[in-house]
Amino acid sequence: MSTEIVTISRLGAQGDGIAQTEAGPVYAPFTLPGETVALAVNKAQGTLISLKEVSPERVEPPCRHFGPEGVNGTCGGCSLQHASDALYHTFKRNLVIDALKSKGLTPHVAPLIVARPGERRRAVFTARRTEKELLLGYNQAQSHHIVAISECPITSPGIVSRLATIRKIASVMASTAEPFRITVLETATGLDLAFEGIKLNDRQRRAAVEAVLSERGIARLSLNGEVIVEPVKPTIDFGGVTVSPPPGAFTQATRPAEEAMARLVLDHIGKAKRVADLFAGIGTFALRLARTARVHAVEGEDRALKALDFAARNTQGLKPVTVEKRDLFRRPMMAQELKAFDAVVFDPPRAGAEAQCHELARSGVKKIAAVSCNPVTLARDLSILVTAGYRITSVTPIDQFLWSAHVETVATVEK
């Protein structure tokens, strides 16, 4: 390891500053373009020692757990709290522009739909029992060290205000020093706590039930997908349709981002009469689309599909919604099947929808809305469609993972 003074030239895809040195690029968290910094360098990784020249785009981080001087270590939840809004928003938009450009695609990319503090309704905490206390927080970046948090400016007040309650319930359930995960979802009826990675004996189970029932604001407690206690069914709203998600279900991290994505999708689909929603999850788009169109929702996760189906069957005023359990990675909907639809929506995991897009390209479906959490795989998927004669009509980046290097995108495509 050596100490070097370098100048940061740009931000990398993970939000780290990059300095070009004779030995190659060095990646330095918590630095900004234009800054001259002293780094402890180990191969391509730099650890910030001090700032020699400070960028005018540097701002005071709003959270005391952030940065190299964070309390008890650096919380790994955020990477860019030290950047001004202007620099940060440009960085996020450029993630999408650069990914598209790498595939030879140069559509206009709309300004970033920004995220605000306190919007995150879903958070994943790491917890572990120690001899003195129960640690609850986030893992330090590239580490198993848990940074215990007492605040979190990105997360909703409804979650932050109940950190002590979550810690109390976790203390009852943890019997070893092994770390475990808690997914917390803020729903209309209270917090949904989904624990993973621990085992309960009968005594602990009873104690956990008592702990939940003694606290207000907890809708459900589950462990490894099994409901332990459910004082009230947790519910979320998709455009006026009430859905009860299964334990630990995927939802969009913030409601404002979800509503922005839905608005872009619905505006593009327009008056289509038959729509396929692929990778439909618990119905984020399908149930909204069903207000005006017949929808076929395809999803590989059984519990998510059942939640979507139950909500559709028990909501008046919707067009017919059919559901199909199908692994679209292994068995994508074929071009001949897709010809029955006027429009298609797809919202895959980070791996994207490469196999499905090859079938879409052959189908001739008139309108497609692509939703993605990974600009790199989105660019790959869009290039497949463009090669087949589709035209990208809009690309909109959406921020719902505030101060991170993750960005959502909605792209609309027409034949």
The reply to whether 313 and 173 lie within a common domain is no
Report the range out of 61-70, 136-145, 291-300 with the highest average pLDDT: 291-300
Least confident of 107-121, 140-154, 201-215: 140-154
Would you give the DSSP letter of residue 109? B
CATH, residue 44 = 2.40.50.140
Q: Beta-carbon neighbour count of residue 298 at 10 Å? A: 23
CATH, residue 230 = 2.40.50.1070
Question: Over 70: is that where the pLDDT of 315 sits?
Answer: yes
- Categorize the per-residue pLDDT at 259 as very low, low, confident or very high, splitting at 50, 70 and 90: very high
The fraction of the chain above a pLDDT of 90, given in percent, is: 89
Domain count of the fold of the chain: 3
Residue 31 lies in a domain: yes
Instruction: Give 214 or 143, the one with higher predicted confidence.
Output: 214
Residue 377 lies in a domain: yes
Angle 200-202-206 (CA atoms, 0-180°, nearest 5)?
95
The pLDDT of residue 345: 98
CATH, residue 404 = 3.40.50.150
The pLDDT of residue 376: 98
Q: Which two tokens stand for residue 61?
A: 């981080």
The fraction of the chain above a pLDDT of 70, given in percent, is: 99
Q: What is the pLDDT of residues 213-236, one digit of tens each?
A: 999 999 999 999 999 999 999 999
Q: What is the pLDDT of residues 319-363, one digit of tens each?
A: 999 999 999 999 999 999 999 999 999 999 999 999 999 999 999
The reply to whether 385 and 301 lie within a common domain is yes
Average pLDDT over residues 103-120: 98
CB-based burial label for 207 (10 Å; 0-12, 13-18, 19+): middle
The reply to whether 167 and 272 lie within a common domain is no
The pLDDT of residue 170: 94
Question: Over 90: is that where the pLDDT of 76 sits?
Answer: no
At 26, is the secondary structure helix, strand, or coil? strand
The pLDDT of residue 67: 85
Residue 339 lies in a domain: yes
Q: Which two tokens stand for residue 117?
A: 């503090």
Identify the domain containing residue 390 by its residue range.
91-115+252-414
The reply to whether 290 and 221 lie within a common domain is no
The reply to whether 211 and 319 lie within a common domain is no
Residue 319 lies in a domain: yes
The pLDDT of residue 392: 98
What's the whole-number average pLDDT of the chain? 95
Residue 81 lies in a domain: no
Q: Beta-carbon neighbour count of residue 357 at 10 Å? A: 26
Using the CB atoms, write b or e for 395-406: b if 16+ within 10 Å. Answer: bbbbbbbbbbbb
**Could you tell me if 145 and 161 are in contact, meaning their C-beta atoms sit under 8 angstroms apart?**
no
Residue 245 lies in a domain: no
The reply to whether 97 and 31 lie within a common domain is no
Only one residue has tokens 């490469």, namely 354
**Residue 373 a catalytic site member:** yes
The pLDDT of residue 23: 86
The reply to whether 171 and 23 lie within a common domain is no
The reply to whether 276 and 400 lie within a common domain is yes
The reply to whether 257 and 388 lie within a common domain is yes
The reply to whether 110 and 148 lie within a common domain is no
Residue 309 lies in a domain: yes
Question: Over 70: is that where the pLDDT of 71 sits?
Answer: no
Question: Over 70: is that where the pLDDT of 117 sits?
Answer: yes
The reply to whether 219 and 139 lie within a common domain is yes
Catalytic residue among 63, 75, 152, 373: 373
Residue 266 lies in a domain: yes
The reply to whether 288 and 403 lie within a common domain is yes
